[in-house]
Amino acid sequence: MAPNDSLSNASPNYGLVPPPTARIVYPIDDYDLDQFVRVAAGFGSSRYGYVVTPNVDHLIRYHEDAGFRALYADASYVLLDSRFASYLLRLTRRVRLPVCTGSDLTAALFRDVIGKDDRIVLIGASAAQAEDVRRKFGLTDLRHHNPPMGFIKDADAVEATLQFIEAASPFRFCFIAVGSPQQEVVAQRLRARGSARGMALCIGASIDFITGNERRAPRWMQRFGLEWAYRLSQNPRRLARRYLVRGPRFFSYVHAAEILLRPAVHGPL
C-alpha cells in the first residue's frame, strides 16, 4: 500500500462534530527538528513509544473526531508538521510553536542516526521502495510489510500487520507509512498490546520523498509554509478537496482551540 494521507473513515467518529467554538486542546511538544533527532537517537529499544506529526488536515480531524483525539492522547510525542499552522497560530494567537516535519525527521534519522546494522521496520510503501531504502542507506536488517489497500477495515489484515511488527521487535525504529488515521491506529494498538519495543513513527508520505516517488516543494516554499500549495499543484485531483474544501475549516477552529505547548522531555518518559 503506497503512503497515502487521503481522507479515510477508518477512525471511528464518536458523536457529532463539535462546533467551531468548542474548546479543543491541541497538545504540541516543544521540539524542533534538531532537538527531536537527538531524543530519537537516544530512545533505545527497551521500551515502546510512538510519534505523531500533525499537519493541518490532522488538526482538523483532531478537532472533529474524538476517536482521533484518543489516538493522539496515547502518543509519546506530538510534533507539529505544518509551518503554515505554525505561522497562522503566531499571527492569530501570538504563540510560537516549533516545527518538526515528519518528512524532515524521517530523512534525518536515515541520514544521521540509523546505523547499517540497526533493525528497522517499514510498514507501507512498495517492495521496490523498501529495496531502494535498503540500498541507499546500506541497511542489513530492514523488515518490510505492505498491508493491502483498506487493510484497517479488515481485522485479519490488521492483526497480520501488528504481528509482523511484534515479531520484528525489539527494533530501533518502526516507520508506519500507511496514511492517517490508519498509521496512528496501528501505533496505538501496538502500545495497547504491550509487546513491541522501540520507537514507532507515523510518517505519512515521507518514504515517497526519500525514494523520489514524489518531489518536495522548493526550500523557499517550505520556509514560507507553502508546501501544501506545491503538493496541490502536483496532484490537484487527489488533493483539491483536502486543501480547498476541507482545509479552510481550520481557520474557524484555530480561534477557539487551546494550544498546549508541552515542555521538552530529554530523559525517559
Each residue's pLDDT tens digit, 242-259: 778 788 898 888 887 889
Cell numbers found for residue 182? 490508519
Q: What tens digit of pLDDT does each residue of 38-97 get?
A: 999 999 999 999 999 999 999 999 999 999 999 999 999 999 999 999 999 988 888 889
How many whole angstroms separate alpha carbon 151 and alpha carbon 32? 33
Nearest CA among 128, 129, 200 for reference residue 161: 200
Please tell me the predicted confidence (pLDDT) of residue 4: 40
Q: Which residue has the higher pLDDT, 105 or 234?
A: 105
CB atoms within 10 A of CB 93: 14
Cell numbers found for residue 220? 523557499
Peptide bond into 268 cis (omega under 30): no
How many whole angstroms separate alpha carbon 102 and alpha carbon 55? 9
Q: What tens digit of pLDDT does each residue of 137-176 get?
A: 999 999 999 999 999 999 999 999 999 999 999 999 999 9
- Report pTM: 0.87
